[in-house]
Chain A
Amino acid sequence: MTIPTSSIEQVIPGQGAMAQPSAEPAKTAKAKRQRFLFVRNGKAATGLIVFGLYVLFAIIGPWIAPYDPSGRSNDLVQGPSAAHWFGTTHLGQDIFSQILVGTRSVMYVGFLAGLIATTLSVLIGVTAGYLGGKTDDSLSALTNVILVIPAIPLMIIITSVLNNASDTLIAVVIGLTSWSWNARVLRAQTLSLRRRDFVEASRASGETTWRIIVFELMPNLTAVIASGLVGTVIYAVLSEITLAFIGITSNDGWNWGTILFWAQGQQALGQHAWWWFVPAGLAIACLGTALSLINFGIDEFVSPRLRSAGKTKLKTASGHTVRMRIGFTPVLENSAATPVMREAK
């Protein structure tokens, strides 16, 4: 499991009035271009491209798979070859086909669970943050309870009493147990937005609550919601694979966790059959990294301070190299450009 990496919650509330002057006027002129800047962000673009490939394989995977993933053959526990790119299992099944076919289940569960969790987190987080008072108290308590109860053991308990969980059911269980982090983030965001002038103004002018939430608040929460969705998808994918790895999975299909389950159960390690567990793990890691990159893009889009500092080494006029850092502004040229005339006073 991974701990949520989104830092939006920690970044936005309670910023001090920055005493540091900044190039404010320049910002407004660039505001229009900023909308597209997100895609131009290198991290986000890389993430989106890799993620797009996964979506593509989720769609076409079962069609382009060279073998039936469950089909047996006489090539038992063979290493990678031209016939079997990722080798075979103890039953002679083609691992490459299993990975391709399994992509659909992974993406489906990831997305369905992500959507369920995001919807719940928006409903609960925004309502709590906007309405405040008793509603907030009880919804926050609910959120925090779900947050501290260890999710994986809870999922195991729930799914184990449900015999033969389908992919959809597993996605629902994951979705129902993993909304709380985002609900917390959204509540904090909504609280800070609610105090802003434009929301106060619509309230004063008698707009209905749901109109304010939908038309005033939601557009300002888009980035947070998107980042929450991406985070939950990573989390849901990892959860599904974890559950499958310990044997909780639908009987009818393959996913990367099932492959690892069989690899572990059939002593792939003892047989040095690295091809059995390495591809599935890398597939998870690349998907997770791609989604994390998208989230970094969103984070940096929302709070530019987090951007990697870019060019930080500078050459001074005298040829020294200095670094941009807080507290010591670099001096590029240290001479009075024009001859100084003493004031004759």
Chain B
Amino acid sequence: MKYFLQRIGFYVFTAWAAITLNFFIPRMVPGDPVQSLIAKYKGQLSTDAMQSLYILFGLDKHKSMWAEYVDYWKQIFHGDLGLSFTFFPAPVSQVISQALPWTLLLVGVTTIISFFLGTSLGVLAGWRRGSWTDGLLPVTTFFSSVPYFWLGIIAIYLLAGPDSFFPSSGGFDSGLVPAWDQYFIPSAIQHSLLPALTILISSVSGWILSMRNMMVTVASEDYITVAHAKGLSERRVALSYAARNALLPNVSGFALSLGFIVGGTLLVEIVFSYPGLGFTLLQALGARDYPLMQGIFLIITIAVLVANLLADIAYLLLDPRTRKDG
């Protein structure tokens, strides 16, 4: 339990650090970015939006930095992330809440499938070393060196198109309205297949490789020799003794790599014009929509922290050594 509380404390601390970073980054910008933005939007910005921009960039001359910081926190606790320029006058929180489910489903489900698939293949490759599975290594190495988004482009080029089963962009057919019905859901699934496949192919190799290496390392542990000496079945030695132990570092690796993986998957959304956070981030970037960019960064960070927490709970359940002696 103590371990668990420590981890929670750490995540709260990290969330605080991310929010604080978010507060300070716009304040590092030289000059008066708000003026240039106002000029760019040529009077389309309301006074409300301008006011929130001044707060965001810390150019509200009447307040101390500390007072601004306190205000910023108050805003965040009210779920107020400012107004978006791109989707003006929609609040950032509303834009994000529309995009978030798409990303959560696509990235979440694919990452979990990728982890389990890669780990299983890694168990095979590590256990049957010297068999055909060693041939997987060069292939996986190549795929882990390719940017996710490039693989997405190739996937579209090879598999998608007007006549193909796979749509090349979007999250659903343009004629449909998002709803939980028999028209929308199949269309959404169909649109997510190719992006999901792209993410799967690019991320699975990392899991195969790390699990394979852990299996090889664990296979020479004493308790594996003991398991063989006990005359246990090959299956039992491989799974219950070797893989069960090799899994532990892979689970903590899973938590730590999430930040890396999420970065890559956002780019896949961009290539597929998939209506999730990554694609929204690209739109925000093009329009220099700072409130939206920062909101997205915050939400992604918090989502990664929550996923980390879940991985920690899984680790806690898997490794008796982290549990309190009973």
A residues bordering B, Cβ < 8 Å?
Answer: 1-5, 7, 10-11, 16-20, 141, 144-145, 147-154, 156-158, 160-162, 181, 184, 234, 238, 241-242, 245-248, 260, 263-264, 269, 272, 274, 277-278, 280-281, 284-289, 291-293, 296, 299, 303, 305-306, 308-310, 312-313, 323-328
Inter-chain contact B209/A5, CB cutoff 8 Å = yes
CB interface residues, B 122-138, toward A, < 8 Å: 129-131, 134, 137
B144 within 8 A of A: yes
Chain A residues with Cβ under 8 A from B282's Cβ? 246
User: Contacts A156-B293, A181-B256, A327-B228 hold; do A7 and B214 have CB atoms under 8 A apart?
Assistant: yes
B25 within 8 A of A: yes
Inter-chain contact B21/A234, CB cutoff 8 Å = no
Which of B33, B217, B253, B288 has most chain A Cβ within 10 Å? B217
The DSSP consensus for interface residues of chain B is helix
B304 within 8 A of A: yes
Instruction: Kindly identify which residue among B144, B156, B249, B305 contacts A5, using a CB–CB cutoff of 8 Å.
Output: B144
Chain A residues with Cβ under 8 A from B209's Cβ? 5, 7
CB interface residues, B 143-182, toward A, < 8 Å: 144-150, 153-154, 156-157, 168
B91 within 8 A of A: no
Chain A residues with Cβ under 8 A from B255's Cβ? 148
Chain B residues with Cβ under 8 A from A162's Cβ? 29
Inter-chain contact A264/B153, CB cutoff 8 Å = yes
* Distance of A305 Cα from B214 Cα, bound (Å): 11
Inter-chain contact B203/A281, CB cutoff 8 Å = no
User: Contacts A2-B260, A5-B210 hold; do A308 and B220 have CB atoms under 8 A apart?
Assistant: no
In angstroms, how far is the closest chain A Cβ from the Cβ of B189?
23
* Distance of A149 Cα from B146 Cα, bound (Å): 22
Chain B residue total in the interface (Cβ 8 A)? 81
Inter-chain contact B260/A1, CB cutoff 8 Å = yes
Chain A residues with Cβ under 8 A from B150's Cβ? 260, 277, 280-281, 284-285
Inter-chain contact A241/B216, CB cutoff 8 Å = no
User: Contacts A1-B263, A327-B237 hold; do A16 and B221 have CB atoms under 8 A apart?
Assistant: yes
Inter-chain contact B259/A309, CB cutoff 8 Å = no
Inter-chain contact B216/A19, CB cutoff 8 Å = no
Inter-chain contact B228/A144, CB cutoff 8 Å = no
B257 within 8 A of A: yes
CB interface residues, B 256-300, toward A, < 8 Å: 256-264, 266-267, 270-271, 281-282, 285-286, 288, 290, 293-294, 296-297, 300
Inter-chain contact A293/B141, CB cutoff 8 Å = yes
Inter-chain contact A247/B286, CB cutoff 8 Å = yes
In angstroms, how far is the closest chain A Cβ from the Cβ of B121?
15
* Distance of A19 Cα from B249 Cα, bound (Å): 23
Closest to B169 in A: A269
Instruction: Kindly identify which residue among B14, B156, B267 contacts A245, using a CB–CB cutoff of 8 Å.
Output: B267
Chain B residues with Cβ under 8 A from A291's Cβ? 145
Chain A residues with Cβ under 8 A from B17's Cβ? 145, 149
Considering the complex of A and B, which 3 residue pairs feature the smallest CB-CB distances, nearest first? Answer: A288-B145, A152-B263, A312-B130
User: Contacts A264-B153, A287-B145 hold; do A3 and B257 have CB atoms under 8 A apart?
Assistant: yes
In angstroms, how far is the closest chain B Cβ from the Cβ of A76?
20
Chain B residues with Cβ under 8 A from A280's Cβ? 150
In angstroms, how far is the closest chain B Cβ from the Cβ of A188?
11
Instruction: Kindly identify which residue among B10, B154, B293 contacts A144, using a CB–CB cutoff of 8 Å.
Output: B10
* Distance of A310 Cα from B256 Cα, bound (Å): 32
Instruction: Kindly identify which residue among A20, A144, A161 contacts B290, using a CB–CB cutoff of 8 Å.
Output: A161
Closest to B11 in A: A148
A-B contact pairs, 27 of them (CB 8 A): A1-B267, A2-B260, A3-B261, A7-B210, A7-B217, A10-B214, A11-B213, A18-B222, A145-B14, A145-B17, A147-B256, A148-B14, A152-B267, A153-B297, A153-B300, A161-B33, A162-B29, A234-B145, A242-B149, A269-B156, A277-B150, A281-B154, A289-B145, A305-B216, A305-B220, A312-B130, A327-B237
B183 within 8 A of A: no
Instruction: Kindly identify which residue among B21, B206, B260 contacts A151, using a CB–CB cutoff of 8 Å.
Output: B260
Chain B residues with Cβ under 8 A from A263's Cβ? 153
Which of A17, A154, A247, A323 has most chain B Cβ within 10 Å? A154
Inter-chain contact A149/B149, CB cutoff 8 Å = no
Chain A residues with Cβ under 8 A from B258's Cβ? 148, 150
User: Contacts A1-B147, A153-B300, A323-B130 hold; do A160 and B288 have CB atoms under 8 A apart?
Assistant: yes
User: Contacts A7-B210, A289-B145, A327-B228 hold; do A149 and B261 have CB atoms under 8 A apart?
Assistant: no
* Distance of A20 Cα from B229 Cα, bound (Å): 13
* Distance of A283 Cα from B223 Cα, bound (Å): 45
Chain A residues with Cβ under 8 A from B304's Cβ? 148-150
Contact with A along B192-215 (1 / 0, CB 8 A): 000000000011001101100110
Instruction: Kindly identify which residue among A2, A16, A324 contacts B130, using a CB–CB cutoff of 8 Å.
Output: A324
User: Contacts A154-B297, A246-B285 hold; do A4 and B225 have CB atoms under 8 A apart?
Assistant: no
